[in-house]
Amino acid sequence: MIDRIQSLLREVEEMKVANADEIEALRIKYLSKKGEISQLMNDFRHVAADRKKEVGQRLNQLKERALQRINELRDTFTDAQTIDVDMDLTRTAYPVRLGTRHPLSIVKKEICDIFGRLGFSIAEGPEVEDDWHVFSSLNFAQDHPARDMQDTFFIRHNPDILLRTHTSSVQTRVMEKTQPPVRIICPGRVYRHEAISYRAHCFFHQVEALYVDKDVSFADLRQVLLFFAKELFGQDTKIRLRPSYFPFTEPSAEMDISCNLCGGKGCPFCKHTGWVEILGCGMVHPHVLDNCGIDGKVYSGYALGMGIERITNLKYQVKDLRMFSENDVRFLRQFESAN
Ligand code: DAH
């Protein structure tokens, strides 16, 4: 019996395989119920009592060793297999999924490009601003409701330092440093103290445009607005100007475009009016020009401002404003083709 154990041990040590099926065949040959080692275990009861101890020990060693070898073979075999695959240098690379531009960036770029084609250059200003640039220079009376704590985030209870509530502050910053002609477009983030819901957020984005020169008229403004609306929403788009009020423009207006969903026929989106509001505009108030060191009797200008989220909603029908800041890739990937 000892001889048989010895010869099986040798066989076990020398086991070689070419694939996973062969490992299984060896396991069956040696370790299954009817396998060689199990047979020896059965024969063990015929071993003379005084030899049982030695033979038993050897038999157990054989069984353990066989198990160990089978497991080793399994390990080396799977390792070898994965290494083989990894080492295939001719394999095609995994596709790299590119990121996408954020929808707000896509629309911002489109707006800036349209004004860029009209000769406007981009200007930027700080998001943490002072009262002068956001309110006072723009003709907001000291008790104007827009200065209210409800709307404005102030920094450390200092009533002079605040997060800008609109990008009109960049108008002042540029005009203070530049004499006309001034022709700028100012994209940027703005902040307002609003309860967050599907239609309002405490921060959003605006684009402001400003043109100051000699003899700038409301007709110039209207023509630029029409060009802009057609470029952004299609050549069939119509515009309509409604009188409005902003402290920094006189006269002021709000612009509607013919609803881009129903073409102006009336639908739930435009509340069956055929029109949707997209921006505020007007002739720069002479006080504002004077406040910035530009002679309001010599120069005139127009300004306009719009919310990028609003325009993006009109273009892509995003129902919930919060989607823009949640970074959910399932939402963002939908804009892959618009990049
Ligand atoms: N600043 C205004 C707002 O935040 C938008 C605006 C309206 C900007 C009229 C302008 C303008 O330049 O002329 O609601």
pLDDT at 158 over 90: no
Q: Answer yes or no: is the C-beta of 164 below 6 A from any ligand 1 atom.
A: no
Nearest CA to ligand 1 atom 13: 281
Q: Which tokens hold the place of 314? A: 């009109």
| DSSP bridge pairs for 187 | 207
Assigned CATH topology for domain 103-338: BirA Bifunctional Protein; domain 2 (3.30.930)
Least confident of 49-58, 114-123, 162-171: 49-58
pLDDT at 84: 56
pLDDT at 114 over 70: yes
Ligand 1 atom with the smallest distance to the CA of 305 is: 8
55 and 62 in contact (C-beta within 8 Å)? no
Q: How far is the CA of 315 from the centre of ligand 1 (A)?
A: 21
Residues 6 or more apart whose CB falls under 8 angstroms from that of 110 comprise: 232
Ligand 1 atom with the smallest distance to the CA of 168 is: 1
Q: Answer yes or no: is the C-beta of 36 below 6 A from any ligand 1 atom.
A: no
10 and 65 in contact (C-beta within 8 Å)? no
Average pLDDT over residues 96-106: 89
Closest CA to 216 of 242, 252, 181, 188: 181
Q: Answer yes or no: is the C-beta of 140 below 6 A from any ligand 1 atom.
A: no
Q: What gap in Å lies between CA 70 and CA 197, rounded to an integer?
A: 63
107 and 338 in contact (C-beta within 8 Å)? no
Q: The pTM is what?
A: 0.72
- Torsion-angle region of residue 317: left (phi > 0), alpha (psi -120 to 50) or beta? left
Mutation test residue for ligand 1: of 191, 248, 255, 278, the one with most atoms within 8 Å of CB: 248
| DSSP bridge pairs for 188 | 206
pLDDT at 312: 94
- Burial class of residue 5 in the structure, from the number of CB atoms within 10 Å of its CB (0-12 exposed, 13-18 middle, 19+ buried): middle
Q: How far is the CA of 334 from the centre of ligand 1 (A)?
A: 31
Q: How far is the CA of 207 from the centre of ligand 1 (A)?
A: 9
Q: How far is the CA of 218 from the centre of ligand 1 (A)?
A: 16
pLDDT at 224: 98
Q: How far is the CA of 156 from the centre of ligand 1 (A)?
A: 26
Ligand 1 atom with the smallest distance to the CA of 302 is: 13
What is the b/e burial string over 283-314, where b = at least 16 CB atoms within 10 angstroms of the residue's CB?
bbbbebbebbebebeebbbbbbbbbbbbbbbb
Q: How far is the CA of 279 from the centre of ligand 1 (A)?
A: 8
Average pLDDT over residues 204-216: 97
pLDDT at 339: 64
Nearest CA to ligand 1 atom 8: 305
Mutation test residue for ligand 1: of 137, 140, 168, the one with most atoms within 8 Å of CB: 168
pLDDT level of residue 247 (50, 70, 90 thresholds): very high
270-309 per-position pLDDT tens digit: 899 999 999 999 999 999 999 999 999 999 999 999 999 9
Q: Answer yes or no: is the C-beta of 280 below 6 A from any ligand 1 atom.
A: yes
Ligand 1 atom with the smallest distance to the CA of 282 is: 13
Q: How far is the CA of 166 from the centre of ligand 1 (A)?
A: 7
